Structure 1
Amino acid sequence: MRGSASRRPVYAVATWVKRQPPKVKAFLAVVSGMAALAFLRFIVHDHDNLFVAAEAVHAIGICVLIYKLTKERTCAGLSLKSQTLTAIFLAVRLYCSFVMEYDIHTLLDTATLMTTLWVMYTIHFQLKSSYMEDKDNFPLYYVIIPCAVLALVIHPSTSHHIFNRICWAFCVYLEAVSVLPQLRVMQNTKIVEPFTAHYVFALGVARFLSCAHWVLQVLDTRGRLLTALGYGLWPSMVLLSEIVQTFILADFCYYYMKSLFGGQLVLRLPSGVV
């Protein structure tokens, strides 16, 4: 009884938000994001920990994905194209790490890339019968070509070789939109089973924490961090890419939380979501 009672305010708020026009929803999303940033700034003293937290949440999402593939023996609802884009930007970022900075994140990216390649192999070869190829119909060139062109035009102004700087920009832009094919699959199916929903929600939380890390770092340094990244449009594009990653998944995360508080095991998405 207590559980159902505690859910009533959540449903009341969710119902009220659902009835609002798009502009009001967008305003509420921005206000909620700013409130969350203010809360994180207050409770997290070292904002570098937010980036570590983002990596940890992403790792949890990957563990959920591995469990789904190994225990459930199905890849239904998963996008092979999203995993392909993830592998591409991770491979490019690894190359940039080796030739430009090489730190602990290089090791983390290596582990993530290996896991992603294993997921791709499992979907394509071992569980191909359950792969929804007809639903995974987002053309990859829709994101790869624009990201490549944008990287040629707007990239870091550091002292590194021009090719490496373009690669760096490309992986930043591609990461921001790599989840789009996964969202297309969920949009086509309208019903998202639990483990896929958990995985995508973990991606959303990780993206928000990563975005919060960048925004709070910029605030803490009073904009000096953007100057350290170089001049021109590149610093702003880095920050914009982080924000885009967060808002791409914001709508899905809202319905995920609504479904979770409602006690529903299967997430049903209304038309127009994601």
Structure 2
Amino acid sequence: MGSGRRLNNPVQALIWWFKKQPPKVKTLLGVLAGFATLVLLRFVVVDHDNLFVAAEAIHALGILLLIFKLQRQKTCTGLSLKTQELTAIFLAVRLYCSVMMEQDIHTVLDSATLITTVWVIFMIRFKLKSSYRSELDDLPSYYVVLPCVVLALAVHPSTTHFFVNRILWAFCVYLEAVSVLPQLRVMQNAKDVEPFTAHYVFALGVARFLSCAHWILQLVDGRSYLLTALGYGLWPAMVLLSEIVQTIILADFCYYYVKSVVEGHAMLRLPSGVV
């Protein structure tokens, strides 16, 4: 009877079939789905730079969901303060680089996202401190920051910009790629993920995929101005690798999020070993 109900819903039937596949088949299907989405975006979206703008806008939307949670529920349970602080760091650095190098729509979006992120940090640290579970937020920030600093010193843009600005640019790219790790650690420790936190992390996953798609499609299209802006050497490859790493880090969570939504569960529960 249960299987019959699942099969009556095509989406649930597809998820049920997907769950039965071995890990290697799941990985292959995930890669194929990502590739098919990239092909679709290439022909549907005329200006692929809009994908990056959309990624930043969705990230900002995710922060707004957190603000709504904090205002409505008066609790920060399930949130990682460390991820918010790391997010504020890379946004501040990227905003500085944007002001010095670009001054465009990205500057506006990063400014708005940084302001709201700082507000979330303030709420967790001071207004809702009693509900913050620091024992779950146990991934040391320096485990994330120090490798990014070392990598930025080793591999950074070879453009004509001021040397320090190039180092900072690389640092914020690397830090953005791994800034969500403390949040994933909190959710793995807690097992149960409440809805607004799940929506926020899923928004990050969608934003990361669109950002990754932006870089891949720009390179596929052979946009010479992009290569000029990035410079040469290892840096363009590292930018693309960072985007791919971000997407992979959040891929498993996004799968369980979609599965939970389709099955109508109010609370997302992560199995062991997902993050």
- 1:218-243 C-alpha deviation (Å, 9 max, x unpaired): 11126773354111100000111111
Which has the larger displacement, 226-235 or 166-175?
A: 226-235
How do 1:22-41 residues align onto structure 2 when only pairs under 5 Å count? 22-41=23-42
Matched, 1:191 2:192: yes
Once the 2 structures are TM-superposed, how far is the Cα of residue 6 of structure 1 from its aligned partner? Answer: 7.4
Aligned position for 1:177: 178
Identity of aligned residues (%): 70
Q: Which residue in 1 is equivalent to 2:117?
A: 116
What displacement does 1:104 show?
2.2
**Distance change >3 Å, CA 7–CA 267, structure 1 → 2:** farther
8 Å contact from structure 1 (residues 227, 235) kept in 2: no
TM-score under structure 1 normalisation?
A: 0.94
Report the CA distance between 1:28 and its aligned residue.
1.6
The farther-off stretch of 108-117 and 168-177 is 108-117
- The answer to whether the aligner puts 1:94 opposite 2:95 as a matched pair is yes
CA deviation string 1:120-141 (max 9, x = no partner): 0100101111111100001111
Query: Is residue 76 of structure 2 the alignment partner of residue 75 of structure 1?
Result: yes
| Cα gap change, 1:222 to 1:7, in 2 (>3 Å) | farther
Structure 2 CA distance for aligned equivalents of residues 185 and 5 of structure 1: 32
Aligned partners of 1:224, 1:107: CA distance in 2, in Å?
Answer: 22
Q: Which amino acid aligns with 2:98?
A: S
Provide runs of 4+ in structure 1 moved above 4 Å: 4-7
Q: Secondary structure at the match of 2:139?
A: coil
Q: Which shifted more, 258-267 or 16-25?
A: 16-25
Return the offset for 1:258: 0.4
Unaligned runs of 5+ in 1: none
Structure 2: gaps (5+ residues): none
Deviation at 1:142, TM superposition (A): 1.0
Larger mean Cα displacement after TM superposition, 154-163 or 12-21: 12-21
Amino acid at match of 1:264: H
Are 2:50 and 1:43 equivalent residues in the alignment?
A: no
Which position in structure 2 is the counterpart of 1:150?
151
Letter paired with 2:62:
G
**Residue equivalent to 1:15:** 16
Shift of 1:111: 1.4
Give yes or no for contact 2:62–2:203 (8 Å, CA) kept in 1. yes
Tell me how large the CA RMSD over aligned residues is: 1.7
Which residue identity does 2:93 align to in structure 1?
V
The 3 A distance-change label for structure 1 pair 131 and 138 is: same
Structure 2 residue 62 is the aligned partner of structure 1 residue 61: yes
What is the alpha-carbon distance in structure 2 between the residues aligned to residue 56 and residue 38 of structure 1? 22
